[in-house]
Amino acid sequence: MFKREFIYDFGLAQDDAKSELSALSLKENDRVLCIASAGEIPLELLVNSHESVMIDAVDIAASQIYLSRLKLKVALHFERIQAAQFLGYMPAKETDRALWFHQIAPELTETELKFWMNHLSILKYGPVNLGKYETYIRRFSPLGRLLLGGRKKLNGLFEARSIEEQKSYFDEILRAGLLKNLFNVMFHPKLYKQRGISEQGLIHWKDQHLGHKLYNQFRDFCTNTPVRENWMLQFVLFNRVLFEESLPDYLQPKGISRLHEESERLRFRKESVTESMNRRDAGYYNKFALSNVSDWLSAEDFTELLQIIAQKSGPDAKGLIRYIHSARVTDLKLPEILGFDEKGGEKLLAEDRFPFYKLIPFSFRNHDKI
């Protein structure tokens, strides 16, 4: 059942860039440090920020950096729908992807080209479909659609004209209660830890009822924001983005234009956030999109990272932390120093299109308390 090849942990970033943009309030001359992951967040920050903002996107996994760079290069080379089809947001024939790969190959570095030549399954499925997480979830998608009432009933959700209509349709038409057992199977520790995500991402997983927790958040996923604008929801339900106007901003006409004009503002590097902070002078970065790095680090290592941010960040620093399992720190003064705003995170989460994380915005102006 799970023999399909996967190349990296994540083919798609599961963070809603709108929350990062709201929390960071990017201004002229800001310098952003963010997690590269699958590339969407740094690309979205780029096309939605002032032309003077510099963005460094880092990841300890070389494969995630290759994927992120590929998304940028494909968006620069092809027209937007063709780019979405090559990458796998939307369906395409394997022969077409092979032709497009031949066209983009000269723009790849030797290392990148070797990597992708070793993983030509991207031509059949599209790169975004070959993350470990996406490969795992996709195996359950047909059963999930069936339990909800089938494709026809799901399509009806996208005909709703308001949030209230979405909520009524979800509660009265879709058979969402039947999903509870499926979620419990999908996120059972013995299965999910082996097949769905790297073990490092579950080091804080002490609550063995993750399936129940995510099931309860699934209604918010389907009803909190306009479904026709939620590309991730469409992708999860149908294995594709249904409406081209809902594609990520970097694949929208304005985003493509800004990529062509300003892509040099974005740099991808294989290194950790801590390494990036340590090799830069104090004051260099002042905005931080940390994704759910705390889920992947020990509390001690996460504390060290936040201490470095507190000590070395530039003026008017802001950031956003996401987490599923833990954002615990061992230095109890840090939340006060960094200005953790959990209530503000709850407000952000209410409008987050992918509401499976808890959010903690932080903001601080000086280092007097350090």
Backbone phi and psi for residue 232, each to the nearest 5 degrees, phi listed first: -70, -40
Alpha carbons 209 and 276: distance in angstroms, whole number: 35
Task: Report the amino acid identity of residue 119.
Answer: H
Q: pLDDT (tens digit, 9 = 90+) per residue, 96-109?
A: 999 999 999 999 99
Residue range 57-69: mean pLDDT, rounded: 98
| CA pair distance 271, 62, nearest whole angstrom | 9
Fill in the DSSP letter of residue 225. S
Residue with tokens 């940390």: 290
Model pLDDT, residue 207: 63
List all residues 6 or more positions away from 368 whose beta carbon is below 8 Å from its beta carbon: none
In this model, does residue 369 exceed pLDDT 90? no
Residue type, 304: E
The model carries a pTM of: 0.94
What pLDDT sits at residue 178? Answer: 84
Q: Please give the pLDDT value at position 95.
A: 98
Contact 241, 49 (CB under 8 A): no
Give the mean pLDDT of 184-196: 77
Confidence at residue 188, expressed as pLDDT on a 0 to 100 scale: 78
Reference 154, options 228, 101, 209; nearest CA is 228
Q: What is the CA 233 to chain-centroid distance, rounded?
A: 13
What confidence score (pLDDT) does residue 2 get?
A: 44
- pLDDT number for residue 195: 72
| Whole-number Å distance between alpha carbons of 5 and 34 | 28
Domain 17-129+249-364, CATH: 3.40.50.150
pLDDT of residue 9: 93
- Do the beta carbons of residue 152 and residue 173 sit within 8 Å? no
Report which of 227, 318, 353, 316 is spatially closest to residue 34, judged by C-alpha positions.
318
- Domain boundaries, given as residue ranges, for the chain: 17-129+249-364, 132-246
Residue 36 has pLDDT above 70, yes or no: yes
Largest CA-CA distance found in the chain, in angstroms, rounded: 60
